[in-house]
């Protein structure tokens, strides 16, 4: 990889060689960060080159990605998701400029596809034919889908409480799904043992430094879709910290390579009752404490985050802000995203927008600021919560009088 210098430990700062099997720091066990030769990148690609590319996927940013030049992009078309100027929603929130990045429009319907596409590329570089992870959610389904398209086998370990809908998605993609009679910790332990025993490729965002490099492509796209003129803020929901870390890494890489001349402030949004990262970031410290996982937004219900350091640094380095939102505020954000913008988000996907609304109400963001809100997953992933958010239809008998009466009751002008 001519564009990669190595992998730097986020804890002890030591530089390590970056090979396809690289995981954590060999010196201290800390999480690694891929380090690039920005002069090399600058010599290979310009903003103008980018504009002429017709690769409508995250792989259009190959010079910024930690893969060999000869590594083929995996087959599923991940990324280059829609980017909307959300004028209706901006007006509703009383601000000037708001954009929505809808990452629910991805092959398996979440931002996690970006990490899984990278995982598949690196597994192939490592000569592996099998990838494994333990997860109940979007990471698992995106891994299974992206692997299937490349003919790789997947072993997915889920705790027995995993929702049957997600299991169905995994099974459809042909994963061997092992439902572990135990909790998440049991599941993780047996998966680690199996990965070790059979030498499968390990797709685990916190210990595999390449996955965050996949996730960072959402930031690269936002910048290009803004024609490289960055907004003041970018809002994102936060669970284990890998996604917000990836977003910040993406902007920093672009800044270092001279593609943008301003870094946005990161708005870190967590659930009010499950916000270990925000609590630490708000106190300006890397020291965090575990919390219970009490929120309907399952994708960010992480009481013991696996990547707290990169996440907290994203807030602190960017001069960003933290916002914690209640479940009711998340439901409200699901409704306003749908009604003003035609975007259907899962709860964690809408949480970023809930955070934007709350930050504006609390006066944390000036009304004339420009903001991007990232939607991280599709509402079809969690229809039960959509039902709770959206309310009931009118029930009417099939005649005009009944219809007029129903309209009158809800104050509809058609009466």
Site for its own copies in 193-212 (CB under 8 A): 193-194, 197-198
Q: How far is the CB of 327 from its own copies (least distance, A)?
A: 16
- DSSP label of 385: H
By CB under 8 A, residue 164 contacts its own copies? yes
By CB under 8 A, residue 138 contacts its own copies? no
* Of residues 367-396, those binding its own copies (CB under 8 A): 378-381, 383, 386-387, 389-396
Residues 275, 297: contact at Cβ < 8 Å? no
Interface residue with its own copies among 173, 233, 251, 288 (CB under 8 A) is: 173
Query: In degrees to the nearest 10, what's the CA dihedral of 203, 206, 208, 213?
Result: 100
* Of residues 118-137, those binding its own copies (CB under 8 A): none
Burial 198-237 (b: 16+ CB within 10 A, else e): eebbbbbbbbbbbbbbbbbbbbbbbbbbbebebbebbbbb
CA distance 154 to 14: 33
CA distance 372 to 393: 32
Within 10 Å of residue 56's Cβ, how many Cβ atoms? Answer: 11
Site string for its own copies, 325-364 (x = CB under 8 A): ---------xx--xxxxxxx--------------------
Interface with its own copies (CB under 8 A), residue total 85
Residues 344, 337: contact at Cβ < 8 Å? yes
Interface residue with its own copies among 79, 107, 250, 305 (CB under 8 A) is: 107
Burial 168-193 (b: 16+ CB within 10 A, else e): ebbeebebebeebeeebeebbeebbe
Site string for its own copies, 237-276 (x = CB under 8 A): ----------------------------------------
Q: How far is the CB of 22 from its own copies (least distance, A)?
A: 24
Please choose, out of 162-170, 211-219, 231-239, 282-290, the segment that lies near its own copies by the rule CB under 8 A: 162-170
Residues 38, 27: contact at Cβ < 8 Å? no
Closer Cβ to its own copies, 121 or 144, answer by number: 144
By CB under 8 A, residue 70 contacts its own copies? no
Closer Cβ to its own copies, 110 or 318, answer by number: 110
Please choose, out of 4-12, 140-148, 226-234, 285-293, the segment that lies near its own copies by the rule CB under 8 A: 140-148
């Amino acid at each position: 990889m001519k564009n990669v210098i190595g992998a730097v430990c986020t804890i002890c700062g030591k530089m390590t060689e970056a090979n396809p099997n690289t995981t954590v720091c060999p010196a201290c066990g800390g999480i690694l960060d891929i380090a690039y030769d920005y002069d090399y990148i600058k010599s290979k690609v310009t903003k103008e080159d980018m504009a002429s590319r017709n690769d409508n996927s995250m792989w259009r940013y190959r010079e910024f990605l930690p893969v060999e030049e000869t590594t083929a992009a995996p087959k599923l078309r991940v990324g280059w998701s829609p980017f909307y100027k959300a004028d209706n929603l901006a007006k509703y929130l009383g601000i000037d400029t708001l954009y929505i990045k809808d990452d629910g429009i991805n092959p398996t319907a979440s931002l996690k596809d970006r990490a899984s596409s990278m995982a598949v590329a690196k597994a192939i570089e490592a000569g592996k034919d099998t990838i494994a992870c333990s997860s109940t959610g979007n990471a698992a389904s995106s891994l299974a889908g992206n692997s299937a398209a490349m003919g790789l086998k997947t072993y997915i370990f889920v705790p027995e409480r995993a929702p049957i809908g997600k299991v169905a998605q995994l099974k459809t993609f042909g994963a061997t799904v092992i439902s572990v009679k135990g909790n998440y910790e049991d599941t993780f332990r047996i998966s680690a043992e199996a990965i070790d025993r059979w030498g499968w490729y390990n797709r685990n965002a916190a210990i595999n430094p390449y996955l965050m490099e996949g996730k960072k492509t959402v930031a690269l796209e936002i910048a290009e879709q803004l024609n490289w003129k960055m907004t003041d803020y970018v809002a994102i929901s936060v669970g284990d910290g890998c996604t917000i870390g990836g977003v910040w890494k993406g902007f920093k890489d672009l800044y270092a390579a001279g593609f943008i001349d301003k870094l946005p402030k990161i708005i870190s949004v967590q659930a009010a009752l499950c916000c270990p990262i925000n609590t630490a970031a708000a106190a300006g410290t890397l020291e965090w404490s575990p919390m219970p996982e009490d929120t309907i937004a399952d994708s960010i219900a992480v009481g013991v985050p696996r990547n707290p350091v990169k996440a907290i640094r994203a807030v602190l380095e960017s001069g960003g802000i933290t916002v914690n939102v209640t479940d009711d505020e998340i439901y409200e954000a699901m409704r306003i995203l749908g009604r003003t913008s035609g975007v259907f988000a899962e709860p964690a996907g809408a949480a970023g927008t809930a955070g934007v609304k709350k930050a504006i109400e609390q006066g944390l963001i000036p009304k004339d600021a420009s903001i991007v809100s990232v939607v991280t997953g599709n509402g079809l992933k969690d229809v039960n919560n959509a039902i709770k958010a959206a309310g009931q239809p009118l029930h009417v008998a099939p005649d005009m009088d009944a219809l007029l009466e129903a309209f009158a009751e809800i104050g509809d002008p058609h009466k």
